[in-house]
Amino acid sequence: MADVDQELQLAKLRVEELRSDINFHDYRYHVLDQPEVSDGEYDELVRELRKLEERYPQLITPDSPTQRVGGEPVAAFGIVEHPVPLLSLGNAFGEEELRAWHKRAAGLAEKERFDLVCEPKIDGLAVALEYREGQFAVGSTRGDGRRGENITQNLLTIKTIPQNLSGRGLPSRFEVRGEVFMTKGGFEKMNEQRAEQGEPLFANPRNSAAGAVRQLDPSITAQRPLDCFIYALGWAEGGTTPTGHLKTLQWLGKLGFQINPHIEKYRTIDEVWKNCQTWVERRDTLDYEIDGVVIKIDDLALQKRLGVVGRDPRWAVAFKFPPTQRTTVLIDIAINVGRTGSINPFAVLEPVNIGGTTVKMATLHNEDDIKRKDVRIGDTVIVQRAGDVIPQVVGPVLSKRTGKEKRFRPPRKCPSCKTSLVRPEGEVMRYCMNPACPAQAFRRMEHFVSRGAMDIDGVGEQLSLTLMQEGLIKDPADLYTLTKGQLLELDRMGEKSAQNVINAIDASRTRPLSRVLFALGIRHVGAETASLLAEHFGSIEALMGASADELAAVSTIGPVVAASVHTYFQEKQNRALIQKLQSGGVRMKTAAPATKDGPLSGQSFVISGTLAAFSRPEAETRIRSLGGSTSSSLTKKTDVLVVGESPGSKLEKAQRYETKILDDEAFMALLRQHGAD
Ligand SMILES: [Zn+2]
């Protein structure tokens, strides 16, 4: 008995040590951007911790790093579902794109003139604050737009967020949206104090603000100089709210919310463009960082009418400032073979700090681009970084040329399999067309196991490569027939690690269909398209059987994507791969399967027009998850017609048939009532 206790005590000490190490490295990596250990070493620490927690579940705490999942809200905070999604904004880089946005909006609005509101775009962390009966009730992060993390306790520490509101006609429940940020002054002062105390310094205000808001310990958040501007009303129930965006902000300002003082209303796009240019020059005069200007249509009814395309509202756009540029030396031009066989040249650079991030590599797009820009190896080049985009080489600094620079000679053969490269007519890329090319197979594998795809922890770049080199796997489906014995034959693979790999592979068998589709690496199918396809078709069989026309009929899926998906599933080896994955135990379930006996059982629904909060397949999935059935054509037997913006002829038909009609809000209320919003 004493031995068992002692073992547990030792495990506890080690667990605490590991957690503190992992948190330290997370901080170096995510906040400071100065990692101290390799990804492999980091993974090893996480693996050891996970193993100990498996053995001693009583040691698991909600704040353990193992409880975090990449990209998804951290469960330890608690999840908040956003009744109305927090949308992202489309970007406009430059005048042309800004005017194009306006022209499109004007076309849809069927008028040239409508008021536009310009707001400095704060570079911070988006949050949603819900008030009930005038009390601040729940605060959350944006998360993936639908689900965020509950950070109420942390937001309570921000003094510019009011806790109690009073006012006549205050809605009984409503949500405001804002941006949490750190002022430049507050940031510098904080770093000075940290320097005095010998603590590591933060890299920039944005990361510090984001890190502070997502602390599991609110007392740490409270020590950070955070601030918050409110920029929109998310939704409201029970009460009247203004009909214009600017009026809404002024009303919120009177209620006690902090509204940015530089918000202006204009009548024409010329005036808006002038405002954007002013901010390009004046951005440094502000005590907080801005990375652009947000332009919104003021009329809320018109906003609603224009609706949303994909994830971007049509009634707003983010004008982004020109990117940050620096010069450095181009050491070499190297080649990377993509998973579709494309030959991608990239720049190997002398490391340079651009806007707080160290850049060592940059994209060079393709050989024509290199030729056009006349970029030569050894040149001093201008490198730019804009937002989250991969850094790129703008061009050479000709005055720095010495004559010793070398021109880039595009490869004629695949650097991996030595097959002669092909450049299809009209394309700018060369391709390795060898289906058995090891580099392509490796890239596909790497993508398959990555986070966001099948997320097979423990099978990273290194192990994928080894397994392929050793001939243990040829394609992703082979992972599901790997045995522990095979793994143990590999160098430096112990009993413990082998079991971890097997467990991780096993866990990936339950990834939903959307993840599997993304993991397959079908050309043009990113994570969002994958979930759209999964939601719409509901099963891999239905998707594989869909014609190109049926695919193109899914809203927001264009003909190019449809053709790519269709072609992919027509190929014999791809169908064989799916089959092999299924017999390997990969389930490919949809996230919200239809329920036979739900609250909407026996009722048939048809949706017409554009809904504010969901795409049609998303809305249909929700109906089916509650047991209802959905159809695209309205008949006398249809029970309910849900109407969004511009419903078309179905509305008339439904009135004639006396079908029950729900508008957007009533439909949302119905979903909310059954917890499916
Ligand atoms: Zn090749």
DSSP string, 624-642: HHTT-EEESS--TT--EEE
For the cut 90, the answer to whether the pLDDT of residue 311 exceeds it is no
Q: What is the CATH superfamily name and number for domain 324-400?
A: Nucleic acid-binding proteins (2.40.50.140)
| Fold of domain 513-583 | DNA polymerase; domain 1 (1.10.150)
Determine which of 85-89, 214-218, 420-424 has the lowest per-residue pLDDT on average: 214-218
Predicted pLDDT at 294: 97
Instruction: Name the 3-class secondary structure at 38.
Output: coil
Q: What is the CATH number of domain 91-320?
A: 3.30.470.30
Predicted pLDDT at 75: 59
Ligand 1 centroid vs 243 CA: distance in angstroms?
59
3-state SS, one letter per residue, for 291-305? EEEEEEECEHHHHHH
Task: Give the other-Cβ count within 10 Å of 543's Cβ.
Answer: 21
More confidently predicted of 535 and 248: 248
DSSP 8-class letter at 73: P
Ligand 1 centroid vs 435 CA: distance in angstroms?
8
What is the distance between the alpha carbons of residues 104 and 88, in angstroms, rounded to a whole number? 18
Ligand 1 centroid vs 431 CA: distance in angstroms?
8
Written as one letter, the residue type at 529 is: T
State which H helix or E strand residue 250 sits in: helix 245-255
With contact defined as beta carbons under 8 Å apart, do 163 and 156 qualify? yes
Tokens found for residue 261:
């003082």
Give the residue among 293, 176, 144 at the shortest CA–CA distance from 245: 176
**CATH architecture, domain defined by 438-510:** Orthogonal Bundle (1.10)
What is the distance between the alpha carbons of residues 560 and 322, in angstroms, rounded to a whole number? 30
What lies within 8 Å, CB to CB, of 579 at 6+ separation is none
More confidently predicted of 336 and 528: 336
Predicted pLDDT at 70: 35
Ligand 1 centroid vs 244 CA: distance in angstroms?
58
**Delimiting residues of CATH 3.40.50.10190 domain(s) in the chain:** 604-673
**Delimiting residues of CATH 2.40.50.140 domain(s) in the chain:** 324-400
CA torsion sign, 173 to 179 to 185 to 188?
positive
With contact defined as beta carbons under 8 Å apart, do 642 and 608 qualify? yes
For the cut 50, the answer to whether the pLDDT of residue 342 exceeds it is yes
Which of 12, 51, 111, 121 is catalytic? The answer is: 121
Task: Give the other-Cβ count within 10 Å of 138's Cβ.
Answer: 17
Query: Angle CA(509)–CA(598)–CA(550) in degrees, nearest 5?
Result: 60
- Is 121 in the active site? yes
Ligand 1 centroid vs 598 CA: distance in angstroms?
52
What lies within 8 Å, CB to CB, of 491 at 6+ separation is none
CA torsion sign, 8 to 14 to 17 to 21?
negative
pLDDT in tens, 114-137: 999 999 999 889 999 999 998 999
Ligand 1 centroid vs 414 CA: distance in angstroms?
5
For the cut 50, the answer to whether the pLDDT of residue 645 exceeds it is yes
Ligand 1 centroid vs 575 CA: distance in angstroms?
23
With both helix axes pointing from N to C terminus, report the angle between 495-507 and 39-55 in degrees, rounded to the nearest 10.
Answer: 90
Ligand 1 centroid vs 417 CA: distance in angstroms?
4
Class of domain 604-673: alpha beta
Predicted pLDDT at 72: 43
pLDDT in tens, 12-62: 888 888 888 887 776 666 555 566 666 667 777 888 888 888 888 778 776
| Fold of domain 2-67 | Helix Hairpins (1.10.287)
The band of 409, judged by pLDDT with boundaries at 50, 70 and 90, is very high
What is the distance between the alpha carbons of residues 57 and 317, in angstroms, rounded to a whole number? 48
Give the residue among 25, 36, 3, 71 at the shortest CA–CA distance from 451: 71
What is the distance between the alpha carbons of residues 343 and 419, in angstroms, rounded to a whole number? 12
The phi and psi torsions of 138 (rounded to 5 degrees) equal: -140, 135
Ligand 1 centroid vs 367 CA: distance in angstroms?
18
What is the distance between the alpha carbons of residues 392 and 347, in angstroms, rounded to a whole number? 8
Mean pLDDT of the chain, nearest integer: 86
Q: Edge-to-edge, what's the strand order for the sheet holding 604-608?
A: 629-631, 604-608, 640-643, 660-663
Instruction: Name the 3-class secondary structure at 396.
Output: strand
With contact defined as beta carbons under 8 Å apart, do 459 and 453 qualify? no
pLDDT in tens, 369-407: 898 889 999 999 989 876 545 788 988 988 889 999 999
Ligand 1 centroid vs 391 CA: distance in angstroms?
26
What is the distance between the alpha carbons of residues 120 and 541, in angstroms, rounded to a whole number? 48
Ligand 1 centroid vs 544 CA: distance in angstroms?
28
Q: How far is CA 299 from CA 114, 258, 379, in A?
A: 8, 22, 52
Tokens found for residue 219:
């007392």
Ligand 1 centroid vs 335 CA: distance in angstroms?
12
More confidently predicted of 26 and 242: 242
Ligand 1 centroid vs 573 CA: distance in angstroms?
18
pLDDT in tens, 185-204: 888 888 888 777 777 667 67
Antiparallel, parallel or unpaired: β 604-608 and 640-643 = parallel
For the cut 70, the answer to whether the pLDDT of residue 595 exceeds it is no
Predicted TM-score (pTM) of this structure: 0.47
What is the distance between the alpha carbons of residues 372 and 623, in angstroms, rounded to a whole number? 53
Instruction: Give the environment of ion ligand 1: residues with CB less than 5 A.
Output: 414, 416-417, 432, 434, 437
